[in-house]
Amino acid sequence: MVYEEEISIIRNQSINKKIKMKIRRFLFLSLAFVLIGSNVVKAQDCETDYSLYREYLSHWKQAKYNPQNINPQMITSWRNVYNNCPELRQNTYLDGVTIMSYAFIRTTKDAALKDKYVDTLIMIYDKRAQYFPNGKNGSQVGNIMGRKGLDILTWAPQRYEEAYTALKQAIDLDGNNSNYAFIDAYFNVVVTMVKEGKLEESTILDEYSRLMEIVDHNIKVNTEMANEKNLNNFNATKANLDVAVQPYANCEDLVRIYQPKFDANPNDVELLTKIAEVLEKRKCDDSPLYLAVAVNLHKVNPSPESAYLIGKKYLADKDYNQAVTYLLQATKCENVEWAHQSYIYLAQIMNMNKNYEQGRDYARKAYALDKSNGRPFIIIGQLYAASAKDCGTGNFYSKTAFWAAVDQFVKAKSVDPSLASEANELINAYSHYFPAIEDIFFNGFEEGQDFTLENCWIKETTKVRAAKVAE
């Protein structure tokens, strides 16, 4: 060996200790230099191979990934980087997916060989997640797993179980930040898994409920941000999920699926909550199962949420006194949507009971919880219109409340464009009840003038307007 003579000297017991130490230090440093030097050479080789394969890849891309334009050196150089320097660049894995997909998987007709290529593709995604788990915005493992799942479905749809695992992991990790394409693909795989007897039928509805929460969240966010592209994508995903769930989502199916589960575990809080949420979302809250679940949930674990479920049922049964009792409890729901809806229901009940001022108070509290929802203003407008006769007599003062009512309908559609059609119909209908132009004149007012409804509970300031003349 290179250092045989030095080693022999060290073994000689008669040699001075200081000389021995110097020789040992020399050997250590020499060996370290060899090891470090080999790593440097290795890294330099990887950098060379990286630049080389990237150049060939660029030309191949320009040729639209035509298999006939593949330079074998591209494959060799990429493989060297992938095997020897896994932490060099994230592009190694991004490019590896392209190379495996278009140079190998797409070009072979041998089923067994294609399956092995897909194995390699999966391994590339897994190694990327291992060596580059974080991106610019934090963890990107969910995104990597989602793309892995999509590629499995693209190149090996018969391996849907592996796709299911990858896509589920993606959504579990990313939650509300999940890619719309992953959500769409995942739900379709869930349906396939159920059809093949690999998942319980209830999984479809459980996952539908979970995914729709994510989709609805993104629709709301992208609406607020005016991100039309993302909004369109999530709206399309929502439509796809609704279509896919239909064969399993009518009320009869839901009862058939969940009734045995309820009967077997009538006091399981988690199960009761899940059943209630599914029935609620699919508008099956008039079923006996819904009330049974709600009542049991409130007995086992009283909460604003269970109160909401019971209150809704009493409302459907027109037992308004009981409904009010439970809905007032429900306004404390941590689920903001349910708390908001509880106030909406309470406002509507107050309208029916002619308790108009209390109804307005509930409607305003509903709006405070969700300022993107214009429904509270529709209700307030209806409260004003219903109490018009309380605001005065004669052809002028008895009609002034309709100005305030229309103001609320205008607010409703400005806050919530989805209510525009309903609001416009109400505006058109109640505008005909405005005072006639001559009644305005004879009472000493003119159009456009400020007017405060001081003679009744409304106490709103509005604008004087004349009734529309029929054409």
**Token pair of 333, please?**
């729901």
How far apart CA 305 and CA 334 sit, in angstroms, is 8
* Main-chain phi, psi angles of 437, to 5 degrees: -60, -40
DSSP per position, 133-197: -EETTEE-HHHHHHHHHHHHHHH-GGGHHHHHHHHHHHHHHHGGG--HHHHHHHHHHHHHHHHTT
What DSSP string describes 387-412? TGGGG--HHHHTTTHHHHHHHHHHHH
Supply the DSSP symbol for 88. S
CA distances from 30 to 18, 33, 135, 409 (A): 18, 5, 39, 86
Token representation of residue 266: 């009538």
Find, among 153, 278, 282, the residue nearest to 203 by Cα.
Answer: 278
Distance, CA of 86 to CA of 80 (rounded, Å): 10
Structure tokens at 371: 């300022």
Q: Is 244 exposed, middle or buried (0-12, 13-18, 19+ CB in 10 A)?
A: middle
Query: Which pLDDT value is given to residue 37?
Result: 38
User: How far is C-alpha 262 from the chain's CA centre?
Assistant: 28
CA distance 433 to 423: 16
Taking CB atoms within 8 Å and a gap of at least 24, the contacts of 248-252 are: 248/194, 248/201, 248/204, 248/205, 249/205, 249/208, 249/282, 250/282, 251/279, 251/282, 251/283, 251/284, 251/287
Query: How many Cβ atoms sit within 10 Å of the Cβ of residue 266?
Result: 15
Query: Which residue has 């020789």 as its token pair?
Result: 23
pLDDT for position 446: 93
Q: Kindly report, residue by residue over 130-144, the tens digit of the pLDDT.
A: 999 999 989 999 999
Find the angle CA(382)-CA(384)-CA(390) to the nearest 5 degrees.
135
Supply the pLDDT for residue 209.
83
Structure tokens at 218: 């993104």
Q: Determine the CATH number of domain 135-249.
A: 1.25.40
Per the CB < 8 A criterion, the answer to whether 167 and 182 are in contact is yes
CA distances for 271 relative to 167, 209, 263, 268, angstroms: 24, 14, 11, 5
Phi, psi of 461 (to 5 degrees): -100, 130
pLDDT of 70 reads 93
Our CA angle for 212, 342, 461, nearest 5°, is: 115
Please report the pLDDT score of residue 250 as a whole number.
84
pLDDT in the model for residue 31:
35
pTM beyond cutoff 0.75: no
DSSP 8-class letter at 448: T
- Burial (0-12, 13-18, 19+ Cβ within 10 Å), 267: exposed
> 350-400: per-residue pLDDT in tens?
999 999 999 999 999 999 999 999 999 999 999 999 999 999 889 999 999
d(CA 375, CA 367): 8
Residue 129, CA distances (Å) to 87, 116, 154, 415 in order: 11, 20, 20, 43
Looking at the chain, which residues constitute the CATH 1.25.40 domain(s)? 135-249
For residue 469, give the DSSP letter.
Answer: P
d(CA 328, CA 340): 11
Residues of the chain with pLDDT under 50: 1-20, 22-41, 471
DSSP string for 299-333: HHS--HHHHHHHHHHHHHTT-HHHHHHHHHHHTT-
Beta bridge partners of residue 463, listed in sequence order: 450
CB 441 within 8 A of CB 398: no
- CA 465, CA 399: separation in Å to the nearest integer? 10
